[in-house]
Amino acid sequence: MTESAFDSLDRTYIMNWLERLLACPSPSGYCMDIAAMLHTEAARLGYASETTPKGNVIVTVEGRETGPAIGLSAHVDTLGAMVRAVKGAGTLRITPIGGYAMQTVEGEYCTVHTRDGRKYEGTVLSTKTSVHVYPDAREWKREEENMEIRLDEDVRSREDAIALGIAPGDFVSWEPRTRMYPNGWIKSRHLDDKASVAALFGLLECLKREGRTPVRTLKLVFSTYEEVGHGAAWLPADIEEFIAVDMGALGDDLSATERDVSICAKDSSGPYDYGMTTRLVELAKRDGIAHAVDIYPHYGSDATAALRGGSNIRAALIGPGVHASHGMERTHADAILGTAALLIAYVTDER
């Protein structure tokens, strides 16, 4: 990416905002606190926002021209879990929220959020915790029924845990373990998709600071159920073009790196709009934004949900390249800034 492509973006703002987003627990269905953060920040930047009945946040930016709006989305919900049962020894069986391999959370520190607002820390462990005790601990399958949370409280029985107010249906969030380095590398859980949320707010901050107006009205949809498949299943009727901004998958025969903007031509829901995808590639080339075009065979996005929900839209998918998605993720600041720069070009350039 050329230096000029960075010029209009406030890197410090974007990185500081990303750090705040990552620190706020928000597994799918438990996004009240982070939604409040979005409303507060949008208002501080001078933009109107609203909440849909299911909790999505929509920020509107008026355009220069009348006509259909452009929708941009990123999801604030993350992977997590829910208490499925309180076990006899006071440990907790969990059920996953989102699609991840169970071994990726073994040993993870977590927080249990009770319905009355209490919070308790714990650790996700296999039910056969030690090779010194269980001869088959290494081979024990890391699947839902063989995993549990050990609470960092004085609990020895189911009754002890229940006395803390813990019950089935309580949400569980993972500790993000965020590290942001001076060389631009960022590693953390939940870069999917808070890195893209930060990019969209970088766009908003830039438009406001520079007094720029998009050609067409923008509606930024921050969804709260993407990880379970229906984040943006409903969209405002005036959206005609819709860009899902989500992390770019890396690995196997995919071309993107952690420093690139990944432009997805096709995922599990089929091809994305030819004209929109071509336009995004052209703008990236024109502005020297590091990018790659890839196919994601095991991937769905907010655009997938919108199309399957019946929205009559053209759709595209882009996002910062993220390594080890749904695991211990890593990206680079260049990819986040590149994503914001490409979106600014798309919404402000005359066609």
| Residues marked as catalytic | 226
| Displacement of CA 136 from its chain's centroid (Å) | 36
Identify the helix (H) or strand (E) that includes residue 61. strand 57-61
Long-range contacts of 236-240 (CB under 8 A, 24+ apart): 236/58, 236/69, 236/71, 238/68, 238/69, 239/68, 239/69, 239/70, 239/71, 239/311, 239/313, 240/68, 240/69, 240/70, 240/313, 240/314
Which residues lie across from 187 on neighbouring strands?
179, 330
Q: Which residues of 240-265 are buried (b: 16+ CB within 10 A; e: fewer)?
A: ebbbbbbbbbbeeebebbbbbbbbbb
Tokens describing residue 107: 């040993």
Nearest to 200 by CA among 5, 343, 35: 343
Q: Is 279 exposed, middle or buried (0-12, 13-18, 19+ CB in 10 A)?
A: middle
| Displacement of CA 298 from its chain's centroid (Å) | 17
